[in-house]
Structure 1
Amino acid sequence: MLKNKTYRSTCPLTSLLDIIGDKWSLIIIRDLFMGKNTYGQFLNSPEGISTNILADRLKLMKNNELISYVYKEYNKKVKYYYLTNKGIDLYPIICEMMLWSDKHLKFKEMHPLGLQSIKSIKESGIELEIKETKNSYLKTRSELLKIL
Protein backbone atom coordinates (compact mmCIF):
# COMPACT_ATOMS: atom_id res chain seq x y z
CA MET A 1 0.00 0.00 0.00
CA LEU A 2 1.17 3.54 -0.71
CA LYS A 3 2.40 5.56 2.23
CA ASN A 4 0.23 8.47 3.35
CA LYS A 5 -2.49 7.51 0.87
CA THR A 6 -6.04 8.00 2.03
CA TYR A 7 -8.59 5.69 0.50
CA ARG A 8 -12.30 6.46 0.52
CA SER A 9 -13.08 2.91 1.57
CA THR A 10 -11.32 0.02 3.25
CA CYS A 11 -12.79 -2.32 0.62
CA PRO A 12 -9.89 -3.54 -1.58
CA LEU A 13 -12.10 -3.64 -4.68
CA THR A 14 -13.31 -0.07 -4.17
CA SER A 15 -9.75 1.14 -3.69
CA LEU A 16 -8.58 -0.57 -6.89
CA LEU A 17 -11.55 0.78 -8.84
CA ASP A 18 -10.70 4.30 -7.67
CA ILE A 19 -7.44 3.92 -9.59
CA ILE A 20 -8.28 1.80 -12.65
CA GLY A 21 -12.06 1.51 -12.57
CA ASP A 22 -12.77 3.68 -15.56
CA LYS A 23 -12.59 2.45 -19.14
CA TRP A 24 -9.77 4.77 -20.14
CA SER A 25 -7.29 3.57 -17.52
CA LEU A 26 -7.87 -0.04 -18.55
CA ILE A 27 -7.44 0.84 -22.23
CA ILE A 28 -4.14 2.59 -21.47
CA ILE A 29 -2.97 -0.45 -19.50
CA ARG A 30 -4.03 -2.71 -22.40
CA ASP A 31 -2.13 -0.49 -24.83
CA LEU A 32 1.00 -0.63 -22.67
CA PHE A 33 0.83 -4.44 -22.66
CA MET A 34 0.41 -4.34 -26.45
CA GLY A 35 3.56 -2.25 -26.95
CA LYS A 36 2.34 1.35 -27.10
CA ASN A 37 4.37 3.67 -24.92
CA THR A 38 4.01 7.31 -26.00
CA TYR A 39 1.30 9.88 -25.49
CA GLY A 40 0.70 10.06 -29.24
CA GLN A 41 0.35 6.30 -29.54
CA PHE A 42 -2.27 6.28 -26.78
CA LEU A 43 -4.17 9.06 -28.56
CA ASN A 44 -4.19 7.01 -31.76
CA SER A 45 -5.98 4.05 -30.18
CA PRO A 46 -9.26 3.39 -32.00
CA GLU A 47 -11.35 4.15 -28.90
CA GLY A 48 -10.56 7.87 -29.25
CA ILE A 49 -9.47 9.11 -25.83
CA SER A 50 -9.36 12.89 -25.46
CA THR A 51 -6.13 14.66 -24.55
CA ASN A 52 -7.35 15.95 -21.18
CA ILE A 53 -8.61 12.53 -20.07
CA LEU A 54 -5.40 10.85 -21.25
CA ALA A 55 -3.24 13.31 -19.32
CA ASP A 56 -5.41 12.88 -16.22
CA ARG A 57 -5.29 9.05 -16.32
CA LEU A 58 -1.54 8.94 -16.93
CA LYS A 59 -1.01 11.25 -13.94
CA LEU A 60 -3.35 9.16 -11.74
CA MET A 61 -1.61 5.90 -12.64
CA LYS A 62 1.84 7.49 -12.20
CA ASN A 63 0.85 8.83 -8.77
CA ASN A 64 -0.35 5.36 -7.80
CA GLU A 65 2.90 3.79 -9.05
CA LEU A 66 1.28 1.63 -11.74
CA ILE A 67 3.25 3.32 -14.51
CA SER A 68 6.35 5.41 -14.83
CA TYR A 69 8.20 7.04 -17.70
CA VAL A 70 11.58 8.03 -19.02
CA TYR A 71 12.39 10.89 -21.34
CA LYS A 72 13.70 10.36 -24.84
CA GLU A 73 17.45 10.93 -24.76
CA TYR A 74 17.68 13.83 -27.23
CA ASN A 75 14.16 15.19 -26.92
CA LYS A 76 13.03 15.75 -23.34
CA LYS A 77 9.51 16.56 -24.59
CA VAL A 78 8.92 12.90 -25.44
CA LYS A 79 8.14 10.50 -22.61
CA TYR A 80 8.19 6.72 -22.91
CA TYR A 81 5.67 5.24 -20.49
CA TYR A 82 5.98 1.76 -19.05
CA LEU A 83 4.24 -0.39 -16.47
CA THR A 84 5.93 -0.78 -13.12
CA ASN A 85 5.98 -4.19 -11.46
CA LYS A 86 2.80 -3.17 -9.68
CA GLY A 87 1.20 -2.36 -13.05
CA ILE A 88 2.39 -5.61 -14.61
CA ASP A 89 0.62 -7.48 -11.82
CA LEU A 90 -2.68 -6.24 -13.31
CA TYR A 91 -2.24 -8.59 -16.29
CA PRO A 92 -4.20 -11.52 -14.80
CA ILE A 93 -7.10 -9.16 -14.12
CA ILE A 94 -7.05 -7.89 -17.70
CA CYS A 95 -6.90 -11.49 -19.00
CA GLU A 96 -9.86 -12.58 -16.91
CA MET A 97 -11.89 -9.57 -18.03
CA MET A 98 -11.17 -10.38 -21.67
CA LEU A 99 -12.09 -14.04 -21.19
CA TRP A 100 -15.33 -13.04 -19.49
CA SER A 101 -16.15 -10.66 -22.31
CA ASP A 102 -15.41 -13.30 -24.95
CA LYS A 103 -17.67 -15.77 -23.15
CA HIS A 104 -20.60 -13.47 -22.39
CA LEU A 105 -20.53 -10.70 -25.01
CA LYS A 106 -20.67 -11.81 -28.59
CA PHE A 107 -19.41 -9.50 -31.32
CA LYS A 108 -19.75 -9.85 -35.06
CA GLU A 109 -16.23 -8.53 -35.32
CA MET A 110 -13.80 -8.39 -32.40
CA HIS A 111 -11.22 -5.64 -31.89
CA PRO A 112 -7.88 -6.91 -33.34
CA LEU A 113 -6.03 -6.51 -30.03
CA GLY A 114 -8.74 -8.38 -28.17
CA LEU A 115 -8.89 -11.15 -30.77
CA GLN A 116 -5.11 -11.59 -30.67
CA SER A 117 -5.09 -11.68 -26.85
CA ILE A 118 -8.04 -14.06 -26.49
CA LYS A 119 -6.53 -16.46 -29.02
CA SER A 120 -3.18 -16.42 -27.21
CA ILE A 121 -4.80 -16.98 -23.79
CA LYS A 122 -6.93 -19.87 -25.03
CA GLU A 123 -4.06 -21.57 -26.86
CA SER A 124 -1.51 -21.42 -24.05
CA GLY A 125 -3.75 -21.38 -20.99
CA ILE A 126 -4.10 -18.37 -18.75
CA GLU A 127 -1.37 -19.27 -16.26
CA LEU A 128 1.24 -19.80 -18.97
CA GLU A 129 0.04 -16.70 -20.84
CA ILE A 130 0.37 -14.59 -17.68
CA LYS A 131 3.89 -15.85 -17.01
CA GLU A 132 5.03 -15.43 -20.64
CA THR A 133 3.49 -11.97 -21.00
CA LYS A 134 4.97 -10.71 -17.75
CA ASN A 135 8.42 -12.01 -18.72
CA SER A 136 8.11 -10.57 -22.22
CA TYR A 137 6.96 -7.21 -20.91
CA LEU A 138 9.75 -7.06 -18.33
CA LYS A 139 12.30 -7.81 -21.07
CA THR A 140 10.85 -5.13 -23.37
CA ARG A 141 10.75 -2.59 -20.54
CA SER A 142 14.33 -3.39 -19.60
CA GLU A 143 15.47 -2.91 -23.19
CA LEU A 144 13.64 0.42 -23.43
CA LEU A 145 15.24 1.69 -20.24
CA LYS A 146 18.73 0.65 -21.42
CA ILE A 147 18.32 2.56 -24.71
CA LEU A 148 17.22 5.74 -23.01
Structure 2
Amino acid sequence: MTTFFAYRYDLVQNISSWMQGNFSLVIKGRYELLYLSIPLVIIAFLYANKFTVAGMGEDFSANLGLNYNQVVNIGITIVALLSSLVVITVGRIPFLGLIIPNIVTIYQGDYLKKNILTTALLGAAFLLACDILGRLIIFPYEIPIGLMVGVIGSVIFLYLLMRRNAS
Protein backbone atom coordinates (compact mmCIF):
# COMPACT_ATOMS: atom_id res chain seq x y z
CA MET A 1 0.00 0.00 0.00
CA THR A 2 2.87 2.35 0.83
CA THR A 3 4.54 1.59 -2.48
CA PHE A 4 1.29 2.31 -4.32
CA PHE A 5 1.03 5.79 -2.79
CA ALA A 6 4.73 6.38 -3.36
CA TYR A 7 4.40 5.66 -7.09
CA ARG A 8 1.11 7.53 -7.34
CA TYR A 9 2.47 10.75 -5.84
CA ASP A 10 6.07 10.37 -7.01
CA LEU A 11 7.42 9.84 -3.50
CA VAL A 12 9.55 6.70 -3.96
CA GLN A 13 12.68 8.62 -3.01
CA ASN A 14 10.98 9.82 0.19
CA ILE A 15 10.24 6.24 1.24
CA SER A 16 13.89 5.31 0.82
CA SER A 17 14.85 8.31 2.98
CA TRP A 18 12.49 7.09 5.72
CA MET A 19 14.44 3.84 5.81
CA GLN A 20 17.71 5.74 6.10
CA GLY A 21 17.75 9.31 7.43
CA ASN A 22 18.66 11.88 4.82
CA PHE A 23 18.64 15.67 5.06
CA SER A 24 18.72 16.17 1.29
CA LEU A 25 14.90 15.97 1.08
CA VAL A 26 14.33 18.56 3.81
CA ILE A 27 13.42 21.51 1.63
CA LYS A 28 10.76 24.21 1.70
CA GLY A 29 7.37 22.58 1.84
CA ARG A 30 8.73 19.41 3.49
CA TYR A 31 9.86 20.51 6.96
CA GLU A 32 6.88 22.58 8.10
CA LEU A 33 5.36 19.51 9.72
CA LEU A 34 8.06 19.80 12.38
CA TYR A 35 6.33 22.92 13.74
CA LEU A 36 3.75 20.55 15.26
CA SER A 37 6.50 19.30 17.56
CA ILE A 38 6.85 22.64 19.39
CA PRO A 39 3.73 22.23 21.59
CA LEU A 40 4.68 18.59 22.23
CA VAL A 41 8.13 19.61 23.45
CA ILE A 42 6.56 22.24 25.74
CA ILE A 43 4.18 19.63 27.19
CA ALA A 44 7.11 17.24 27.70
CA PHE A 45 9.03 19.96 29.53
CA LEU A 46 6.04 20.71 31.78
CA TYR A 47 5.65 17.01 32.61
CA ALA A 48 9.40 16.38 33.05
CA ASN A 49 9.26 16.16 36.84
CA LYS A 50 6.36 13.72 36.67
CA PHE A 51 8.25 11.59 34.11
CA THR A 52 11.23 11.48 36.47
CA VAL A 53 9.03 10.27 39.34
CA ALA A 54 7.24 7.76 37.10
CA GLY A 55 10.63 6.41 36.08
CA MET A 56 11.20 5.33 39.68
CA GLY A 57 8.41 2.78 39.48
CA GLU A 58 4.67 2.43 39.91
CA ASP A 59 4.71 1.89 43.68
CA PHE A 60 6.97 4.85 44.33
CA SER A 61 4.82 7.06 42.08
CA ALA A 62 1.63 5.97 43.81
CA ASN A 63 3.16 6.74 47.23
CA LEU A 64 3.84 10.29 46.02
CA GLY A 65 0.25 10.69 44.76
CA LEU A 66 1.08 10.51 41.06
CA ASN A 67 -1.29 8.83 38.63
CA TYR A 68 1.34 6.50 37.17
CA ASN A 69 -0.70 5.14 34.23
CA GLN A 70 -1.79 8.60 33.09
CA VAL A 71 1.77 10.00 33.17
CA VAL A 72 3.17 6.96 31.34
CA ASN A 73 0.45 7.21 28.68
CA ILE A 74 1.12 10.93 28.18
CA GLY A 75 4.84 10.23 27.90
CA ILE A 76 4.37 7.42 25.39
CA THR A 77 2.01 9.57 23.31
CA ILE A 78 4.45 12.49 23.22
CA VAL A 79 7.39 10.26 22.28
CA ALA A 80 5.38 8.47 19.57
CA LEU A 81 4.16 11.72 18.02
CA LEU A 82 7.58 13.39 18.11
CA SER A 83 9.29 10.31 16.69
CA SER A 84 6.79 9.99 13.86
CA LEU A 85 7.13 13.67 12.95
CA VAL A 86 10.91 13.36 12.73
CA VAL A 87 10.81 10.09 10.79
CA ILE A 88 8.34 11.52 8.28
CA THR A 89 10.49 14.61 7.76
CA VAL A 90 14.05 13.33 7.96
CA GLY A 91 13.94 9.55 8.18
CA ARG A 92 15.24 7.05 10.68
CA ILE A 93 18.30 8.28 12.59
CA PRO A 94 19.79 5.38 14.57
CA PHE A 95 21.52 5.64 17.97
CA LEU A 96 20.70 9.35 18.46
CA GLY A 97 18.09 8.77 21.14
CA LEU A 98 20.29 6.15 22.78
CA ILE A 99 23.73 7.70 23.11
CA ILE A 100 23.07 11.42 23.59
CA PRO A 101 20.70 11.08 26.61
CA ASN A 102 23.05 8.53 28.18
CA ILE A 103 26.07 10.82 27.78
CA VAL A 104 24.15 13.71 29.34
CA THR A 105 22.94 11.47 32.19
CA ILE A 106 26.49 10.30 32.90
CA TYR A 107 27.67 13.86 33.42
CA GLN A 108 24.57 15.57 34.87
CA GLY A 109 22.65 12.84 36.64
CA ASP A 110 19.15 11.52 36.03
CA TYR A 111 17.13 14.69 36.61
CA LEU A 112 15.03 14.96 33.45
CA LYS A 113 13.93 18.58 33.65
CA LYS A 114 17.53 19.76 34.02
CA ASN A 115 18.75 17.52 31.18
CA ILE A 116 16.20 18.34 28.47
CA LEU A 117 17.94 21.45 27.15
CA THR A 118 21.41 19.92 27.33
CA THR A 119 20.23 16.77 25.57
CA ALA A 120 18.57 18.79 22.80
CA LEU A 121 21.62 21.00 22.26
CA LEU A 122 24.10 18.12 22.35
CA GLY A 123 21.87 16.09 20.00
CA ALA A 124 21.66 18.99 17.57
CA ALA A 125 25.43 19.55 17.72
CA PHE A 126 26.06 15.82 17.17
CA LEU A 127 23.70 15.78 14.16
CA LEU A 128 25.32 18.91 12.74
CA ALA A 129 28.81 17.44 13.10
CA CYS A 130 27.72 14.17 11.46
CA ASP A 131 26.00 16.05 8.64
CA ILE A 132 29.05 18.21 7.94
CA LEU A 133 31.30 15.15 8.03
CA GLY A 134 28.92 13.27 5.71
CA ARG A 135 29.05 16.14 3.22
CA LEU A 136 32.85 16.41 3.30
CA ILE A 137 34.01 12.77 3.18
CA ILE A 138 33.16 12.12 -0.49
CA PHE A 139 32.58 15.69 -1.68
CA PRO A 140 30.67 16.63 -3.95
CA TYR A 141 28.44 13.71 -2.97
CA GLU A 142 26.71 13.28 0.36
CA ILE A 143 26.60 10.37 2.77
CA PRO A 144 23.11 10.16 4.34
CA ILE A 145 22.87 11.39 7.92
CA GLY A 146 21.38 8.08 9.05
CA LEU A 147 24.48 6.22 7.92
CA MET A 148 26.88 8.72 9.51
CA VAL A 149 25.03 8.77 12.83
CA GLY A 150 24.74 4.97 12.74
CA VAL A 151 28.47 4.44 12.27
CA ILE A 152 29.67 7.12 14.69
CA GLY A 153 26.88 6.37 17.17
CA SER A 154 27.70 2.66 17.22
CA VAL A 155 31.36 3.45 17.98
CA ILE A 156 30.33 5.79 20.82
CA PHE A 157 27.81 3.24 22.11
CA LEU A 158 30.44 0.49 22.16
CA TYR A 159 32.82 2.84 23.99
CA LEU A 160 30.14 3.57 26.61
CA LEU A 161 29.54 -0.17 27.08
CA MET A 162 33.26 -0.94 27.39
CA ARG A 163 33.75 1.97 29.80
CA ARG A 164 30.89 0.74 31.96
CA ASN A 165 32.24 -2.82 32.06
CA ALA A 166 35.77 -1.63 32.87
CA SER A 167 34.65 0.23 36.01
Task: Identify whether the pair has TM-score above 0.5, normalized to the shorter chain.
Answer: no
- If you compute each CA radius of gyration, which structure gives the higher value, 1 or 2? 2
Q: Normalization by structure 2: what TM-score?
A: 0.27
Q: Normalization by structure 1: what TM-score?
A: 0.30
The structure with more strand, counted as a fraction of residues: 1
- Of structures 1 and 2, the one with the larger relative CO (CA 8 A, separation 6+) is 2
The structure with more helix, counted as a fraction of residues: 2
